[in-house]
Amino acid sequence: MSPDRARKMKQYFRPGKRVHLVGIGGVSMRPLALVLRERGLEISGSDMNASVTTDELIAKGITVYIGHRAENTEGADCIIRTAAARNDNPEIAAARAKGIPVFERAEAWGVIMQEYANAICIAGTHGKTTTTGMVTHIFMEAGRDPTVMIGGYLPLLGAGHRVGKGDTIIAESCEYCNSFHNFFPTVAVINNIEEDHLDFFKDLRDIQKSFRHFAMQIPASGKLIANGDDENTREALAGLPYLSFGFGEHNDVHPVNISEDWRCFDVVCGSKPYCRVELGVYGKFNACNALGACAVAWYMGIDGETAARGLASFHGAGRRLEFKGTCNGADVYDDYAHHPHELKAMLEAVRTRHYQRIVLAFQPHTYSRTKALFRQFVEVLKIPDLVVFAEIYAAREQNTIGIHSSDLAAEVPGSVCFETLPEVSDYLRSIARPGDIILTVGAGDIYKAGEAICESRDL
């Protein structure tokens, strides 16, 4: 984002101005709406469907229109849109015709970010929400009173955002549509880089270029922190200085004395002991996320004991192996994983819990991702004892590809496939037994199936 555009936006982010958000129910649009309202702006918004999120915004006094219509923009001084809202959206088209400025969601967060001395941006294909949550716990424990924008629900905050009075903002930073190029990080974390969002990016090399561009936005006085074990990340950042974290001892921040379940280990920072970590979450991937969070804390001058307390108090963000309840003696968990690597990491973490049977109810997310990563999905989906497929969650797409969950089911032995969530929940309820873990997994609304069987109610 150019300085001129940032200055233009700032004139609309003043008390009394009315801002209309297109796609207000999105994971980063909702906290943006609340943050702007707390700054004294008048907020309205629209979304395609009613949801728990839109209901909550309405309960907080924000006008939310269900469905996108030109008349929803009446009286707005400017429009902020989610990345999924294209120029042919009725509200965007109407605003442009009237000369009402239209800004991107990421641009709005970028402008807000400039008001803080410390802007900590957490990026990467996987682990962004969890790492952002861990960093938030540490900074809250340290009394830094941060402002937070996270792409999920964090129990500590009771929300996905927080407006603090300190000099630090902690922001989950997504690469989709190059949105994080609009940010102004003073400290940036890159967890990993893999092929994803191939409806926008051409290929892995294109994704690596995007992350490199993001990394180069950090000022000379700031710090880049990156996973030194991840080959794609190292390639993307070749020639750039950064503080590395990972399991290898070549990293600036690495663990020693690791427990079998990856929950407990000593952290070494700059060749010196920093802290003893005892995590409230499972899996090697969460241990790596914690190392990234420790690297941030160490660089920002937070002592190891405080960092350890902060990490110990973190028990996961919403929809990240979140315990939902029980069904016929089976434990029911929900997870947001929607990429093969995330699925594999989550399933490996679950294996350490030694359940008799792993039942995975999986809802693929977007047609383009399902097609592009089809073979990878098939291989990972052979890990559970039983896979129950829900139909692909379309999100922002139309099924011009002609792909369905049944195509995956045909390649996964013993799996079953259903068109509707009530059918998924009925089947899960019928097979659940003591010793099972039932996982509802995906970035769409598959969580409803798990909630239904726990609460013994229909969808």
The residues that are catalytic are 128-129, 172
Extract the tokens encoding 391. 């139909």
Closest CA to 153 of 254, 56, 64: 56
Q: What is the CA radius of gyration of the chain?
A: 22
Compute CA distances 107 → 8, 41, 173, 366, whole Å.
Answer: 11, 17, 12, 25
CB 439 within 8 A of CB 360: yes
Q: Across-strand partners of 325?
A: 332
Contacts of residue 394, Cβ cutoff 8 Å, sequence gap at least 6: 366, 367
Strands 147-154 and 159-162: antiparallel
The half-sphere exposure of 195 on its side-chain side, counting CA atoms within 13 A, is 16
Compute CA distances 50 → 46, 47, 54, 249, 335, whole Å.
Answer: 9, 7, 6, 49, 22
Compute CA distances 119 → 86, 173, 186, whole Å.
Answer: 29, 11, 5
3-state secondary structure of 453: helix
Which class for 458: exposed (0-12), middle (13-18), buried (19 or more C-beta within 10 A)? exposed
CB 288 within 8 A of CB 191: yes
